[in-house]
Structure 1
Amino acid sequence: MTTTSSCIIGVDAGGTYTDAVIMDRATRTVLASVKVPTTHANPGIGIVHGIRQLLAKGTIPVTSIARTVISTTLGTNALVEGKGADVGLFVIGFNQRLDVPAEDMRYIPGGHKAKGIEREPLGLEELYDGIKAMKGHVQAYGISSLMSFADPSHELVAAKALSLLDDKPVFCSHQASTRPGMKERATTALLNAKLLPIMQTFVQGVRTALHELGVQGDVCMVCGDCTEIELDRAIRQSASTFASGPAATAWFGSHIASTDTALVVDMGGTTTDITMVAGGKPVMDTTGMTIGQWQTHVQAVEMFTVGVGGDSLFTPLGIDNNTLGPSRVIPLCQADQYVSPQDVAHLTDAIQQLGPKLKSSLVIVPDPASPPHSPLVAWLRDQGPTTSETILQHMGQGEIALERELGQLLKTRSIVQTGFTPTDALHCLQHIAIGNTDLAMLGARVLGTCLDMDPVTLSNHVLSLARDKIATTILQYVAGREVNQGLSSFLHTNDNPLLEITVRLKPPIIGIGACSRYVLPEVAEQLGTTIVFPDNFDVGNAVGAAWLGLDKGNP
């Protein structure tokens, strides 16, 4: 029996699964671990399920829990998948075009010079007009003013004006950046604003979950730079959690690495994250992390992310240009969990319509009893699982308009998509059995017919696409920091009749993630290095979060 306040809980809420471990603080022994599906609409539900199962696995009283440390990739995954809030950006005192992911952008007179000298007065009239134009069309606001790290007054006035005219969340660049670089600071503010509603929902879910379970002690989140942050600050500074999951990954790897340098590769359901440890510590990116195509001023572990994971969508476009990811879908083997029992037969019929391009995935309304949000949702609720092509034919919309509407419905989780994924491929090859193998096999047969492949060949092909993407990404990461990113193209020169170049990765790989054992060994072999799967590698991020809580937290 454990004693009072003798344990720490580590939780990692990923894009597909929520992992949780309970660890003895004195011995750092993992006493129990669980893996449950992430509940995106309310992540707290998944956390409740995970911690409840942890406590039920042994004689671990809730009073023994001293701390709870949480890492998450939900924010990063949302940005990789193009989700998050629609943000209106106000750029003050800088009238050059910025290529940033804003729903709307307005340039406002104002800003400051060096030493906080006002460049020109803040354009209150232009600000008012911009707020009126954006109100009702955006879900959050970002503000970035020229040299606001020297004097944030124009950002503060603009934020106050926004709060008086609209109740949507607002984030200012001076809250996260103290360095010059207008585009990077504007991007940091904008991406933070995109995550504000997501983080608010997440934190509220965490609090509700822990209160429901009676878990006491302090609660914190892992930041991307391997520090901790209180939950309230995590809402106000959402950007600090961009690399929360990878930070836990790197912290786990830093305790496992037996060599001076190692690569930690975490294959999750949505993305594969690559971090590096050197000298027993995670390597930090002091210039500011890149998220997708956008450079920020967020301090975080040095990482490289690729949009391929266990639940990445496979799209058959032809034998030489099939694609995998970055879209995440519900694997076919789990799709029956999202339809009513009477619709399972309809789901089977719909899978038989799968094929190239738009028909590579199916659309499902996950809760047929919920009120319709649009004519399309109402039709889908009656129709049941169907392809995008069928929707096009019925609704009479253009392809671009339909993709836009489906994207909005996916954001609000009014619909889900299902399709063939590496998780399905692993079912077809009988490596795992966590879902309906018959549905996975049906999808493999249908898609295989399009490519003249049997289900086993198709499944191996899909896993090969995943391995190639991960191997190429590892080379891009290493080559980009050591030589030149163009070096990654050498991986594929063995097909050249005149040129053969061998590239070998020197550091070993530490594998994390439930699917990684079936994908990463071939990646390591392809790169000429070794790989190790430590104890608890399938829940490594949760272990890393707990270890970080022990190393950084209060005794």
Structure 2
Amino acid sequence: MSDHLLLGIDTGGTYTDAVLFTETHGVVAKAKSLTTRHDLAVGISGAVEAVLRASGTDVGAISLVSLSTTLATNALVEGQGGRAGLVMIGFGPDDLKRDGLQEALGSDPVIFLPGGHNVHGGETLLDMSALDGALPQLANEVSSFAIAGYFAVRNPSHEQRVRDRIREVSHLPVTCSHELTSKLGGPRRALTTLLNARLVSMIDRLIGSCEDFLKERGIEAPMMVVRGDGALISAAEARLRPIETILSGPAASLVGARYLTGLDDAVVSDIGGTTTDVATLAEGRPRLDEEGAVVGGFRTMVEAVAMRTFGLGGDSEVRIDDRGLVAGITLGPRRFLPLSLAAVEHEAAVIGVLEKQLRSPHVGRHDGKLAVRTGLPDHLATGLMSQQQALYERIGSIPVALESLLTSTPQRATLDRLVERGLVHICGLTPSDAMHVLGRQSQWNGEAARLGAELAARIKDGQGRPVAASAEDMAEKIAARLTRQSAEVILSSCLAEDGAAVDPAVSLAVDRALKRTPGIVRFSLELDRPLVGLGASAPVYYPDIAEMLGAQSIIPADAGVANAVGAVVGQIRASAAAFVTVQEEGIFVVNGAGEMARFLDEEKAFAEARRRVEAAALDAAQRNGAESPAVMVTEDIAAPEIEGSRKLIEARFVAVASGRPRIAHH
């Protein structure tokens, strides 16, 4: 294994990274290319071609390709994704009020069907007539379906029947809740399934783009995708369960950080274009979130690294609140296309608009902001309302000023909806632009960045004074805000890990400590372990952030491609669960990892559950491409003594199989 050449790819919101890696030499070569959201293959091929050129490697030597992506995470944080139809079997409208399901559903359609099962897997009659009536029209209004059945983790037969009917009529992708989790809790299972369905077409496009490119380039090697817990799964499995790739990028960055620094204990903070992800390493392992990953404000049932994701990055929107006596600056959570980046491809259009606005004696409400199509294919713009369609048609592939685009206030909400759907970018001032003005970054168009900062500096506060004295002053204020906001999100993550209920953004004590405010009582704080800064712009931002937090700053040499490194050094892990319950005195029911089975002997039921999960986990690991996986079974048996006799309530058996990925032998 040691000298096989492995190719790691990470598609972030802004950049796609590629590394060539061997276990004996580590990173052999690395490269970056801009992520091209309209066609991810362009960014992937750009990064891979660059890394092949840098290393002079023959493509035939590559034995494994592994992909990590922040695409699913970013889509959920930004409220993007396709429109999905939700089918609830055995649930009622009141169930939507639990676990944020109603909020997640938004305006997407939902159908309730009679049916479902009980805790032992016994069924209530399934009636599909409401589905049959709605399907022909629904199939034209959504891009995928999600199905959640009552106690489907104990008996999935109703979910499977509904899935088969939907596929037969609509030919659209369908996700069943029992395929994603073995945990009880219907509404949260439905929420996880709904989010999965929304992501299917997006992740399918990404993996398809990647596979097409590898094929064209003659790279014949197995392809893996990083899961949210840092483990690897095969590309085919990731296509079916894209929700498992939420926090894939962050999980890969943690695996990469551990590998690159050799640290067992650290706070790891990874700044990208769209998000900052914070997690802790303890005793060499990332902690998993037992409750399930939280992304975009929703708690899912996806097992993932205990990573907190904040809408704060180099491409965050700079928001200026001019209502107070002193103007306030906040960053995010929305991602803008930086003016400096928009001007790389459209210099004349972007700079023309900004210069015209600067010449005007009046400060416009939409100064420094433009809109441009993201380049998504037309079939992904289906289901737009008439006013959305009309506005979308006025936005082209060349950026256009918001002031000429928006003629009425309601149109702002319409534009926001097009952004949420991933159809339109708003171009505007970001921290990346500020860094170009200050000369700390120089890869894009500095002139556009400067003009944007000058326009922002003209905005007046409540006392009628300009927000900043110059473009440089404006940029310094944005940089200071990014340092402070980053310190707050890192602190809030660490305090949550410690179980301390303190919000650093509003705590006066934290404010005094971070500002080093002098006084009779001096407040100070520090982290008990180093702060590892990751991301391409980590060297620009993290020394100041670590200093503010009283922490040692560690930025590894390959900090900018830690995710791509993590993608290739991970292991495949697959799990399976089965349950034994008592249906009535002396009858033991085994559910999960196969058909329901009844036994008259508890030990035989337990033995069957063990056999099933072990076989299912090994099978899943091998399906995912693991070579010689090892398996471990854990048991959780709830059998209290009641009135002097032992009474089995439930036994849960979980098997985990793990191994390194199979590689191509050329």
**The two structures share one fold, judged by TM-score above 0.5:** yes
> 1:40 aligns to what?
37
Q: Name the CA shift for 1:518/1:244 in 2 (closer, same or farther; >3 Å).
A: same
> 2:475 aligns to what?
459
Residue identity in the other structure for 1:106: I
The match for 1:404 among 414, 423, 427 is: 414
Q: Name the CA shift for 1:116/1:512 in 2 (closer, same or farther; >3 Å).
A: same
Correspondence 1:228 to 2:232: yes
Q: Name the CA shift for 1:80/1:366 in 2 (closer, same or farther; >3 Å).
A: closer
Correspondence 1:476 to 2:495: no
Moved more, 68-77 or 288-297: 288-297
Residues in 2 aligned to 1:417 and 1:107: alpha-carbon distance in whole angstroms: 38
> CA shift at 1:524, angstroms?
1.5
Query: 1:210-242 CA distances to partner (integer Å, 9 max, x unpaired)?
Result: 112111221111111121111111100111111
Q: Name the CA shift for 1:343/1:431 in 2 (closer, same or farther; >3 Å).
A: closer
3-state secondary structure, aligned to 2:570:
helix
Moved more, 357-366 or 305-314: 357-366
Residues in 1 aligned to 2:197 and 2:344: alpha-carbon distance in whole angstroms: 33
Taking the TM superposition and a 5 Å limit, the aligned residue runs for 1:270-309 are: 270-309=274-313
> 1:21 aligns to what?
19
> 1:379 aligns to what?
394
Correspondence 1:429 to 2:438: yes
Residues in 2 aligned to 1:291 and 1:28: alpha-carbon distance in whole angstroms: 36
Residue identity in the other structure for 1:516: A
3-state secondary structure, aligned to 1:485:
coil
Q: Name the CA shift for 1:484/1:39 in 2 (closer, same or farther; >3 Å).
A: same
Q: Is the 8 A contact 2:419 2:426 kept in 1?
A: no
Q: Name the CA shift for 1:358/1:446 in 2 (closer, same or farther; >3 Å).
A: closer
Taking the TM superposition and a 5 Å limit, the aligned residue runs for 1:189-268 are: 189-257=193-261, 259-268=263-272
Q: Is the 8 A contact 1:351 1:443 kept in 2?
A: no
Residue identity in the other structure for 1:418: C
Residue identity in the other structure for 1:254: R
Query: 1:181-236 CA distances to partner (integer Å, 9 max, x unpaired)?
Result: 11221111011111100011011101111112111221111111121111111100
3-state secondary structure, aligned to 2:151:
coil
3-state secondary structure, aligned to 2:55:
coil
Residue identity in the other structure for 1:392: L
Query: 1:264-312 CA distances to partner (integer Å, 9 max, x unpaired)?
Result: 1110111111122111122222321111211111111110000111111
Q: Is the 8 A contact 1:6 1:24 kept in 2?
A: yes
Q: Name the CA shift for 1:405/1:109 in 2 (closer, same or farther; >3 Å).
A: farther
Q: Name the CA shift for 1:83/1:477 in 2 (closer, same or farther; >3 Å).
A: same
Residues in 1 aligned to 2:347 and 2:447: alpha-carbon distance in whole angstroms: 17
| TM-score after normalising by structure 1 | 0.90
Residue identity in the other structure for 2:660: K
> 1:553 aligns to what?
661
Q: Is the 8 A contact 1:338 1:364 kept in 2?
A: no
Correspondence 1:10 to 2:8: yes
> CA shift at 1:88, angstroms?
1.7
Residues in 1 aligned to 2:308 and 2:365: alpha-carbon distance in whole angstroms: 28
The match for 1:485 among 494, 497, 501 is: 501
> 2:113 aligns to what?
108
Q: Is the 8 A contact 1:171 1:192 kept in 2?
A: yes
Residues in 2 aligned to 1:356 and 1:503: alpha-carbon distance in whole angstroms: 42
The match for 1:527 among 531, 536, 549 is: 549
> 2:405 aligns to what?
391
Residues in 2 aligned to 1:244 and 1:411: alpha-carbon distance in whole angstroms: 22
Correspondence 1:542 to 2:551: no
> 1:62 aligns to what?
59
> 2:47 aligns to what?
50
> CA shift at 1:521, angstroms?
1.8
Q: Name the CA shift for 1:466/1:122 in 2 (closer, same or farther; >3 Å).
A: farther
Moved more, 434-443 or 253-262: 253-262
Segments of 5+ residues of structure 1 without an aligned counterpart are none
Residues in 2 aligned to 1:89 and 1:218: alpha-carbon distance in whole angstroms: 34
Q: Is the 8 A contact 1:5 1:64 kept in 2?
A: no
Residues in 2 aligned to 1:375 and 1:418: alpha-carbon distance in whole angstroms: 20
Identity across the alignment (%): 28
> 2:620 aligns to what?
none
> CA shift at 1:334, angstroms?
1.5
The match for 2:186 among 158, 182, 187 is: 182
Segments of 5+ residues of structure 2 without an aligned counterpart are 382-388, 460-465, 573-658
Residue identity in the other structure for 1:408: L
Q: Name the CA shift for 1:483/1:412 in 2 (closer, same or farther; >3 Å).
A: closer
> CA shift at 1:348, angstroms?
4.0
> CA shift at 1:462, angstroms?
1.3
Q: Is the 8 A contact 2:260 2:562 kept in 1?
A: no
3-state secondary structure, aligned to 1:30:
strand
> CA shift at 1:129, angstroms?
3.7
> CA shift at 1:108, angstroms?
2.4
| TM-score after normalising by structure 2 | 0.76
Residues in 1 aligned to 2:484 and 2:496: alpha-carbon distance in whole angstroms: 18
> 2:601 aligns to what?
none
Q: Name the CA shift for 1:130/1:464 in 2 (closer, same or farther; >3 Å).
A: farther
> CA shift at 1:315, angstroms?
2.0
Residue identity in the other structure for 1:104: P
> 2:131 aligns to what?
127
Residues in 1 aligned to 2:233 and 2:260: alpha-carbon distance in whole angstroms: 24
3-state secondary structure, aligned to 1:316:
strand
Residues in 1 aligned to 2:122 and 2:195: alpha-carbon distance in whole angstroms: 28
> CA shift at 1:449, angstroms?
1.4
Q: Name the CA shift for 1:305/1:532 in 2 (closer, same or farther; >3 Å).
A: same
The match for 2:372 among 354, 358, 364 is: 364
Residues in 1 aligned to 2:549 and 2:337: alpha-carbon distance in whole angstroms: 30
Moved more, 7-16 or 445-454: 445-454
Q: Is the 8 A contact 2:367 2:455 kept in 1?
A: no
The match for 1:323 among 314, 318, 330 is: 330
> CA shift at 1:38, angstroms?
0.5
Paired residues in the alignment total 543
CA RMSD of superposed structures (Å): 2.9
Q: Name the CA shift for 1:62/1:455 in 2 (closer, same or farther; >3 Å).
A: same
Residue identity in the other structure for 2:428: G
Residues in 1 aligned to 2:391 and 2:546: alpha-carbon distance in whole angstroms: 46
